[in-house]
Amino acid sequence: MQTKGHSRHFIYTDWILIETQFDPEQLHSKETVFTIGNGYLGTRGSFEEGYPHALPATFIHGVYDDVPVVYTELVNCPDWLPLIVIVNGDRFRLDQGEILRYDRQLDLRQGLLIRAVRWRSPSGNTIDISFERFASLADPHVLALRCHITPVDFEGLIEIQASINGYPENQGFNHWEGLDQGKIDQGIWLQRRTRSSRIELGMAAKVTILGSEASLQVNTAPGYPTLSTSFLAKVQQTVTVEKIVTVFTSREIDTPVPAAQEKLVHLPDYATLLKANQQAWDEVWQQSDILIEGDSTATFAVRYNLFQLLIAAPRHDDKVSIPAKTLSGFGYRGHIFWDTEIFMQPLFLFTQPAIARNLLSYRWHTLPGARRKAAHYGYKGAMFAWESADTGDEVTPRWAIGSDFYGEDVRIWCRDREIHINADIPYAVWNYWQATGDDDWMQKCGAEIILDAAIFWGSRVEFNPERERYEIRGVIGADEYHEFVHNNAFTNRMAQWHLEKAIAIYDWLAHKFPERATELEQNLKLTPEERSHWQEIVAKILFLYDPSTELIEQFEGFFQSEDINLADYEPRDRSMQAILGIDKTNKCQVLKQPDVLMLLYLMRESADFPYNEKALQTNWDYYAPRTDITYGSSLGPSVQAILASDLGKSTEAYEQFMRALMVDLEDNRGNTNDGIHGASAGGIWQAVIFGFGGIQLTENGPVANPHLPPGWTRLKFKLHWRGKWHDFDLHEGVGTGEQGSRGAGEQGSRGEVAVSFSPPPLRSFAPLPLMPDAQSPIPNIQGFIFDLDGVLTDTAELHYLAWKKLADEEGIPFNREANEALRGVSRRASLMLIIADRPYSEAQIEEMMERKNRYYVEFIQNMTPQDLLPGAIALLDELRQADIKIGIGSASKNARTVLERLGIADKVDAIADGYSVQEPKPAPDLFLYAAKQLGIEPEQSVVVEDAAAGVEAALAAGMWAVGLGPVERVGAAHIVLPGLAGIKWADLREQLSNISRQKQ
């Protein structure tokens, strides 16, 4: 299925984001949206040829540098993208000439960004240019770019310039010093070093030209080494330019330039690198994918948000973490907040725990910086920075410069007062330990984080003798609209929770790792008196709430603040703080984001005080209407979606979920240009799993109590818990019980289910429509859509063998005659026909479908081009020569694998397979999806099918149908043939014309 984005010129399929029109007004936000990466670096979706005022950027984890006087920031690294195409003297650029066609796609399944343009130059030459790029997930130091160039209506000189831009800027500031550059065999290289942090970078690039005789020249202009070539282009002849880049920094290797050069020399070609990247993504999606049925927008958008976190997650480095804006923009200057531990980390904790460990190890490595901050403020222990970079020292800017030239600068108090992060990080450390049982990491790293941060609380609290209570005064809570408050409920309770866990860890270490306990006692100056002090704080910390109603006061005096009705300010397009001003907002009961509700969410999983159903309902009723959920913090909507789901407020839960889900795709806050909202993306995962999936963690493993939103018919995912995988397949109308995880607590079968996540090929443009004369009976056919089984190859035999093997194992009679009834039928429907009325549970049915698929995949691995049916390859080649687009419309989820084994993947322009739509044949969805991918209308499409259901689907789609096989099976088709042997496009066109003439 596919849906359209709101005014963003977007189409969403299950896996692919398609932009159908270039809008210069959205240039910067789209650069963010089309970011690619691999966990080592991220590259914004800027154009290879450049565009005026664009913000191209490649950010590498951990490459920070100082801007004099002001701040530390993540550095924009040399740009590996530049690829200039000059057409008969006219430089290809989208701000000149005429854009006749435009299409940009982000394929989440393999991290591939594709852009195809038909462009008419100022001189009148029309050319098709397509770009594709990826940052290899298989090798983080490898980047690749490919460009296809096809003249449409001219012959002439094409010039290519492929460069490395050594002058990147962070919005006006260049962090790099030039060291050296040069050329190697078929390549160039660049050496740079950051001005303050002295991090050295080496980048190398090589270019390959395919489809034309062209020699390369090297130009080593300072800071801009370039490989260039030119060739005489012919009409409809495609020339391909492949640019492969390697990059290293001195953070991971002492000699980055030789490392980049050496790797470049030994790399295989683009296609091989792409396949390795694809396989790496297959493995990641096997662990992290979420399948939603019944909501096509959510199906894609959830995967999109996961993708943006996956490409920003450090896979091989435990000294870095994910910035608030990931690696996609200049916002917050690449700094790390509590966003990572509280919002982003759970995704990795339950799907890729090694990455979760890396994120937390970053905090362990930066403890020295946290200790320096505590000492600066006169406290003990470790005081984590509100904004952190490479060392863990505080890097929050002290002042924010306003947009008003004559206005006052704004003091940023978060660095001084927003101290709840000191409990948020231990909260994430504790949860990692609970979910993984990783005692080794806990005693080496985690315990030190928890204990040293606890020492800070011991020195930060104040004892009020009149109340006989410990207080924490002068703070900012999770709600940043109130900048100087006392006894914030979130901060006080999280500090109390933290100290409770610190005592438990202290005792655990002494019992299980006494040597490490002694070491930490000495290094941190921990004493029995300190432990007793913690216990006293836990017992006597002030927490303001009414036990009878369970209403919690957000901070001392909040209820006496001025109450306002947010509805009185609607409609609006900015935050309440922007409307009221900072001083007025400080004095009102209006929240930037959930504060008390955030506390309840964090205590929800373990049902710790103050969480219970009554407290949730009471505090929701009070605080939700007072929260600026639309233009306050982007962290809020996902949390409210989860809690609303708990309260049975399904409409409100879904509304808040969608607000978080589309924050970047629809740019609904107007700041996507700054970078991806990483915390919101992480909150989306939690909203789906813990909110709608209702996951609860028990000693026996996770179980589900689902609250699926209206319209969702299925929610499928897997979780890793204490060394085991747990599969969940939740369906509409199913509540609690064992269904929760297909046998809650059982180990999943990762690695046994052969599911292909192979990418579709580059979607080419359909030819410009040739409009026939009004009197002409010739149909305007622009594309053919082929079924696979029984049409191009006889995989029906392999399906039969797989079903036969399964049936034999289950003791069910099954033969070729029974197999005939399965032709054109989905896997589930086929299995239902085979088992008839035999009693099988849903879990058993799922297992049998996966087992059959595994057998089928094993069989297709032996396929070769020899398995193509007679006439197939000849017809495909003839259609391509006639500029007819070719698509595949197969219900099989292994269609791409079959095409690769048959050797015809490069002959296909689009694939619609079992992953593409929800409704199988005879519904027309699959063929309509294929036509949309081809860029043609249904009436311009011919479907070739061998099953009655397929013919019915084609007719329902309003397409021409060619049936292969006996009339009794495919007789409803416009044309019926025994097979493709000897079939010519000219003959088919003549027959279709005759049918069209008869209709007239």
Q: How many CB atoms lie within 10 A of CB 827?
A: 21
Instruction: Report how far Cα 570 is from the mean position of its chain's Cα atoms.
Output: 33
H helices of 443-555, where? 447-460, 489-512, 514-524, 528-540
Q: How many CB atoms lie within 10 A of CB 123?
A: 12
575 in helix, strand or coil? coil
Structure tokens at 519: 């070491």
Q: Are 831 and 869 in contact (CB under 8 A)?
A: no
The residue count for the chain = 1000
Question: Three-class SS string for 199-242?
Answer: CEEEEEEEEEEECCCCCCEEEEECCEEEEEEEEEECCCCCEEEE
Q: How many CB atoms lie within 10 A of CB 288?
A: 20
Instruction: Report how far Cα 874 is from the mean position of its chain's Cα atoms.
Output: 40
Q: What is the dihedral sign for C-alpha 44, 50, 51, 55?
A: positive
Positions marked active-site: 480
* Torsion angle defined by CA atoms of residues 369, 374, 377 and 379, in that order, rounded to the nearest 10 degrees: -170
Structure tokens at 665: 């795709």
User: What single-letter DSSP state applies at residue 216?
Assistant: -
Residue 999: in which H helix or E strand, if any? helix 985-999
CA distances from 449 to 95, 190, 318, 333, 362 (A): 53, 40, 15, 25, 11
- Amino acid letter for position 479: D
CB burial of residue 291 (10 Å; 0-12, 13-18, 19+)? middle
Q: To which residue do tokens 């394929």 refer? A: 107
Q: Are 447 and 382 in contact (CB under 8 A)?
A: no
Structure tokens at 9: 């010129």
Q: What is the dihedral sign for C-alpha 805, 811, 813, 819?
A: negative
Structure tokens at 907: 């002959």
CA distances from 691 to 21, 654, 685, 686, 715 (A): 36, 10, 9, 7, 12
Instruction: Report how far Cα 513 is from the mean position of its chain's Cα atoms.
Output: 40
Q: Are 562 and 493 in contact (CB under 8 A)?
A: no
- Give the Cα separation of 217 and 895 in Å (integer): 42
* Max intra-chain CA distance, the chain: 99
Which has the closest alpha carbon to 358: 403, 322, 305, 397? Answer: 322
